[in-house]
Chains A and B, each alone.
Chain A
């Protein structure tokens, strides 16, 4: 394993590399199969700047996510995008890092209100496949100076460069939260309920449907966050609008519910494949219908569907005709190889992707095999 202790050392390693490397943060998000020796960011750690009054945090890529969450919590602030912890779903061990969250653009239920990881990310430093150190963006939240490589790096799965430092716009933490719950809805009815809540002015920050809630029955969940009186007011308004709802106003219990939804944890353990599907929220029920017997967790008001299906199922074939895309998250290596982990891209997009990878990683040594593979691989 290669474990550079500085950005410069990392650049030296990549310049000298003759064979592919597999970029690793905490190693908890092992989606797909990359080739080569592990290149770990574990020694690039530490929060380099935190200004609560400017809502800004900068950290080295290998910094454990938990360290960042705790530092923010001490000032009653947080990362807005609620990154998923993959460990339960994938059965992985280790400590998730901030760089890993960025590289995978890991974004949880609050995505619908606060945006994805890439929306909070305001600056990056990285080393590209040729060993060149590049910076883009910075530490201010409004910045249109030059091209936005910050967004490009988020969710690029280490295929364009190895992140060394990331900057975020953070948000104030919330004083309280509550969750409105409806039991026994069909996926169809649940998505309609969630759409009504999301169309309201009451600032819903979570809108999900799970086949089994804590009570073991299908559960539709709507989250509200903010000052206590405000949460109570909005919960009451929404109850009037939606009818038969229960309200979980114990903040601790509500938070636990959303951790489970975020991590799709009810799909953990079973010997089955898990896919992550991104569609128009109102198409959630179409996905449910097309997949029949599959166990589904629907988040983002129906726009994000976690599907648990029989091993080896070609889920993309089953969803033909529904616009969006599907990523294979958990499966046997053979299935990953046969179906492809990442969604195939239509021709003009694939050409742009391949072109960018060839420019940023001319020798094709970074996470070779991840994302849609470049033509010259």
Chain B
């Protein structure tokens, strides 16, 4: 499909310039606390990408972000602003844990399937309530999904303290999942092929699943009739009604899918890493989904790239905090700046670029 100039600006230039602005401001902050930003950058690159260990963590984080980024994006294509990825991912973790703990799985592959269904159903359920409220009762989905994040945290807290905590344990957390549920790590997968991958990192088979999810979502949105309906609804609700598209159905499909994708993050974080249900199973990844989706322009390919970038930032940031006085929270600042520039100040970034392009075009047509 042919793209116009402003599309190209939107897809490529704005994320890159926004990222540049975010990095520049972060560099100033690093300099402000008395560290060398270039050294810090070098340390981040070597810490996140310079070793199999670094890559292992980078990919682990990226996998989480891909799931929640896709979750935000699919709802956004229907112009539904799902800020509830965090809560939906928490419920997904709950679903994963219940399935992993209560069914005696013979093999990890079956367990992965079962836990995946559990995670997706729980996540979808948590998104469908706000979706129903929006479609039938007109309640603002932004507010309800925020509220549902807090309710999810309280629910998880309640269940962990009162019901899922094993006998004799003080800390709120479920029992460890049985060994049969243990997912193969990238090390397990790659070593028979002759690659030595770090043993001690949590990157696992769900990394492939997340990429598969991205490809499937792309196919769904741009190659199926329901995907077409979702995008139509997102562009114009009136046109959708005119085209015989049921707003209720689309709202529920888009949000259900969104919640399910957010829930699937638990396969990586809960089943693949912690291997039990913990109090904060998402560690804020739900919100990073917003950043990667905005930066990836809500396109699956963009989201995968943005997720790898954020995975790199997370792992690199952890290394920075370990070796320098630069705190880990630097990543939160970068994340905030990326959201700000790509999502809220994109007109500020776009206007000068478009003016510049228009001027050069005029100059060329005159010549």
A binds B: no
Which A residues are within 8 Å of any B CB, using their own CB? none
